[in-house]
Chains A and B, each alone.
Chain A
Amino acid sequence: MSQGIGVVGLYVRDQDEALEFYVEKLGFRVHTDAQNGGFRWLTVQHPEQPSLQLGLFTPQAPVLDEATAQTMSEAVAKGAMPPLVLNVDDCRAAYERMRAQGVEFTQAPEERYGNVDANFRDPSGNGWKMIESRRTQ
């Protein structure tokens, strides 16, 4: 596939912490980790989704002014950023594995409408819903 969404970015409070979380605890891989002056371009990918990169960026100058960076940091920490969805084959197994790694779950797996889902947050406050994907194909 040559067309489509390439990178979706998240704001995180600390890129080292986010890298450790997404790689060590969630099993993502590093795609690009490039330092350019005071700015670090850091993206990770899901191992089964090589066409999409998840950017882990800090709200900071010079991209944002100080006041806006502060506002964005507050929004992330308050859990006010848009929700993210992670599809998994087995929600309960993923929950057990991730919880053992110290992932902060805000909802244990629950079944509704025949699907199982759970909620967790990354260290910065970004909220993920983990959904056991219903195989329709």
Chain B
Amino acid sequence: MDPELLRRLLRAKDQMDAASHETWPVCRLARVSHVSEAHFARSFKQAFGLPPHRYLLTRRLERAKALLRDTTMPILDIALQTGWNSLGTFGRVFRDVNGTSPSDWRAHEHAGRHDLERVPHCFVSAAYRPGLTSAVSEKRRRERPAKKEPSHKPEVV
């Protein structure tokens, strides 16, 4: 790919990183990268290996995990602060991706704390970024083949 285009796509990725709680419709991302909306999603996926909105989801979950681990903030507040509109959606997506509820994950993390103060924060945090090679809805479908799919759809896949 053209490095000049990649550099502009990186700008969109950087902005999602800096404000993953915000809403990032394709038109907004395409504007940051100075590419057409039609080309943005495809180019982003080609550059970074996953579609822009799934990338955003990984960053939101990473941030949520850091807040679960490092703070005593109520889970509802964490959900709202990391970009979800409701506790239900957050809990469902979190469980679909991580296989455990936010509160169970928090309890487990607190049971085995490590001294990570000497490692830059972003690297500690990145270890918790989920590797979403497929859409969350797809993962959900595969893992619960017998169950009927709930009628609601996740906001970000």
Contact = CB atoms under 8 A, between A and B. Distances in A.
A133 to B, nearest CB: 13
Contact of B121 (A85, A104, A117, A125): A117
A85 B122 CA distance: 12
B4 A77 contact: yes
Nearest to A73: B3
A113 B117 contact: yes
B120 A78 contact: no
A78 B3 CA distance: 8
A121 to B, nearest CB: 7
A117 B122 CA distance: 11
A85 to B, nearest CB: 7
A74 B6 contact: yes
B121 A106 contact: no
The B interface is mostly helix, strand or loop, or mixed, namely helix
Contact of A77 (B3, B15, B17, B120): B3
A106 B14 contact: yes
A117 B125 CA distance: 15
B122 A129 contact: yes
Contacts of A78: 6, 9-10, 47-48
Interface residues of B, number: 19
B1 interface: yes
Contacts, number: 45
Interface in B8-63: 9-11, 13-15, 17-18, 47-48
Interface centre among A85, A106, A124 (most CB of B within 10 A): A106
Contact of A129 (B47, B48, B120): B120
Nearest to A127: B14
A50 interface: no
A27 to B, nearest CB: 23
A124 B122 contact: no
B10 A113 contact: no
Contacts of A79: 10, 13-14
Given A106-B17, A112-B121, 15 more contacts: A73-B3, A74-B1, A74-B6, A76-B3, A77-B3, A78-B6, A79-B13, A79-B14, A83-B122, A104-B11, A106-B14, A113-B121, A119-B122, A125-B10, A129-B120
